[in-house]
Chain A
């Protein structure tokens, strides 16, 4: 499959008042391309911090990350923005679609910040992504006109529109009814076929059970790394 990311000795500490919080306390992990991974843990376990660092939203205090063969643990803000724009997608619990934009515009949004896409190319790519998640019939709708399950499908389309190497889904089913949970998780699972690594970040065991590999975290450390 090939290695996507190699993480060694990752630390992240926050200073809050007089207290130093070790959000990540020496994490070593290897991600392959096309893996379906769940990062499981209670709040405060460090799973969100790990997602933010691997998702190029934050930088580690210490440690190294090789991403697609390049050291990325100490990038500038603009360089990290490039990775977010080109190599990473995010799916959030609360969807985070922009209410003023149409479905099509929401999905095309990541490409707006890329200079290699013209307006026509952005629209084309967004349509393909929406087709992929089965939402092509709602292009001009506003997010508020959609159900929760539909919104999350649009959010997934936005996450994959720029053909990323890895998609992080942060409690993607937290705001969905039971009927939609499986459909969204199956949709995320189907991305593997395109070589995308999918990382579910959750505290829900039943959600994590869908993944092929479950990384359990506690107090900033990897407690268990199990393939199922």
Chain B
């Protein structure tokens, strides 16, 4: 309790000292201000990038997803191309039958970029043939009030139905028209709209998956809202003429099984493809891992810059404190003569350093807010899908406490010097 009272008195005194030497105090703070501002701004922006990317990966199907794509054979194997049919529905059945840790298998047969027509209105977009497994693998849904998705029966009977993304709905139908049950034409063939996909929106850093009557274009997620989906069997029968697939999306029951599943899928596919590796497997984990490395590199380099500026800030405080003590040697002598202990003066000068660093840190936080706001603005102008960072109290608190620690460390040496001054010598000082 007594110590608390002493600290309080020392802090009040430190504030008065600061007030008496405004310009000098501000100059000594400048290092800390820049250090904290750059530290907090950089960490915030990097964090924003990471957060954005995490959500991006999740929207891409999360880390449980394995994507199988076609790949052309290496030159020396080109003459063997006839041995493999490429990705087909047989691969789907084989994977389903032999690899239980793969929970969903979603084959996709790309029909192409086609023109959709409804009562004279038209829109061009990508049409894909899919199965019911597409929904869980893509992590999408059809709200019950918005119809239904493609079913196993649609696959079996090759029905002429389609499910639309919200961006297509917005472009093809007037707002007062309910698209469900309407018949649209693709390459002269008629398709009944049976369902509307949930709308994916990106607002700042947050990605909201909204169902409802959302007909927005969805900003950076527009490409995900503009798809049109038909039964894969219909795509094969009416457009493609074969059951070749453009790709496969797999979902593993748990992220822990991912590597295991990748191995097994690769082995199975090599078997059905007669040993030819005309496919590639990619997981989001690899992307995530790459990004983690970038993140670490970013944090290290930016942290280094911020660390150096905080270090310089600390030296600045120490310098000013030493100069201030030099100027006030007589004052120290007087205080000692009237009964101040070494520890009283230590506390007094350490508090002054702490007050400088706390104020500097607070100003630095305000500056960092400005920096982040400007960066957000510039990034949004340059790329609409740019990084948008949000302020995090924890980062700010960390930046502030970092500055306080620097200030205290920088204040220790000057404070010890003040505490150890001989009162007689100090009083003689001119």
Of the stretches B241-249, B329-337, B350-358, B383-391, the one at the interface is B329-337
CA distance A85 to B343 in the complex (A): 14
Nearest chain A CB to B1 CB, angstrom units? 10
Q: Which residue of chain A has the shortest Cβ distance to B344 in the bound complex? A: A113
Contact B330 A96 (CB under 8 A): yes
Proximity bits, A47-64, B CB within 8 Å = 1, else 0: 000001001011000000
Contact B2 A82 (CB under 8 A): no
Is A136 interfacial (CB 8 A cutoff)? no
CA distance A198 to B429 in the complex (A): 25
Task: Count residues on chain A whose CB falls below 8 Å from chain B CBs.
Answer: 25
Nearest chain A CB to B244 CB, angstrom units? 87
Q: Which of A58, A86, A162 contacts B424 (CB 8 A)?
A: A58
Is B300 interfacial (CB 8 A cutoff)? no
CA distance A109 to B341 in the complex (A): 13
B residues 290-347 touching A (CB-CB < 8 Å): 330-331, 333-344
A residues 59-105 touching B (CB-CB < 8 Å): 77-78, 81-82, 84-86, 90, 92, 96-98, 100
Is B9 interfacial (CB 8 A cutoff)? yes
Is B20 interfacial (CB 8 A cutoff)? yes
Nearest chain A CB to B333 CB, angstrom units? 8
Q: Which of B2, B330, B339 contacts A86 (CB 8 A)?
A: B339
Contact A90 B338 (CB under 8 A): yes
Contact B334 A84 (CB under 8 A): no
Q: Which residue of chain A has the shortest Cβ distance to B330 in the bound complex? A: A96
Q: Which residue of chain A has the shortest Cβ distance to B341 in the bound complex? A: A81
Contact A96 B427 (CB under 8 A): yes
Contact B338 A110 (CB under 8 A): yes
Contact A98 B340 (CB under 8 A): no
CA distance A96 to B337 in the complex (A): 10
Q: Which of B5, B17, B342, B424 contacts A78 (CB 8 A)?
A: B342
CA distance A84 to B342 in the complex (A): 13
Nearest chain B CB to A15 CB, angstrom units? 15
CA distance A109 to B333 in the complex (A): 13
Task: Decide yes or no: A158 and B338 within 8 Å by CB, A52-B424, A96-B427, A115-B2 being known contacts.
Answer: yes
Is A114 interfacial (CB 8 A cutoff)? yes
Nearest chain A CB to B7 CB, angstrom units? 13
Is A29 interfacial (CB 8 A cutoff)? no
Nearest chain B CB to A150 CB, angstrom units? 18
CA distance A109 to B13 in the complex (A): 12
Nearest chain A CB to B351 CB, angstrom units? 13
Is B16 interfacial (CB 8 A cutoff)? yes
Contact B337 A113 (CB under 8 A): no
Nearest chain B CB to A188 CB, angstrom units? 17
Contacts of A92 in B (CB 8 A): 427
Q: Which of A77, A85, A158 contacts B342 (CB 8 A)?
A: A77
CA distance A84 to B424 in the complex (A): 13
Contact A81 B5 (CB under 8 A): no
Is B61 interfacial (CB 8 A cutoff)? no
Contacts of B17 in A (CB 8 A): 100
Interface centre among A52, A86, A100 (most CB of B within 10 A): A100
Is A112 interfacial (CB 8 A cutoff)? yes
CA distance A50 to B230 in the complex (A): 106
Q: Which of B2, B9, B20, B337 contacts A84 (CB 8 A)?
A: B337
Contact B16 A81 (CB under 8 A): no
Contacts of A57 in B (CB 8 A): 336-337, 423-424
B residues 343-387 touching A (CB-CB < 8 Å): 343-344
Contacts of B331 in A (CB 8 A): 98
Contact A112 B9 (CB under 8 A): yes
Q: Which of A86, A96, A98, A113 contacts B341 (CB 8 A)?
A: A113
Contacts of B9 in A (CB 8 A): 112
Contacts of A114 in B (CB 8 A): 339
Q: Which of A52, A96, A162 contacts B334 (CB 8 A)?
A: A96
Q: Which of A96, A97, A100, A162 contacts B339 (CB 8 A)?
A: A162
Contacts of A115 in B (CB 8 A): 2, 5
Q: Which residue of chain A has the shortest Cβ distance to B1 in the bound complex? A: A115
Contact B341 A77 (CB under 8 A): yes
CA distance A193 to B395 in the complex (A): 65
Q: Which residue of chain A has the shortest Cβ distance to B430 in the bound complex? A: A94
Contact A98 B424 (CB under 8 A): no
A-B pairs, top 4 by smallest CB distance, nearest first, are A85-B339, A110-B338, A81-B341, A84-B339
Q: A57-B337, A96-B337 are in contact. List 10 more A-B contacts (CB 8 A).
A: A57-B336, A57-B424, A77-B341, A77-B342, A78-B343, A81-B336, A81-B342, A100-B17, A110-B339, A113-B338
* CB pairs A–B below 8 angstroms (13 shown): A55-B337, A58-B424, A77-B341, A78-B341, A81-B336, A84-B337, A84-B338, A84-B339, A85-B338, A96-B333, A100-B20, A109-B335, A115-B2
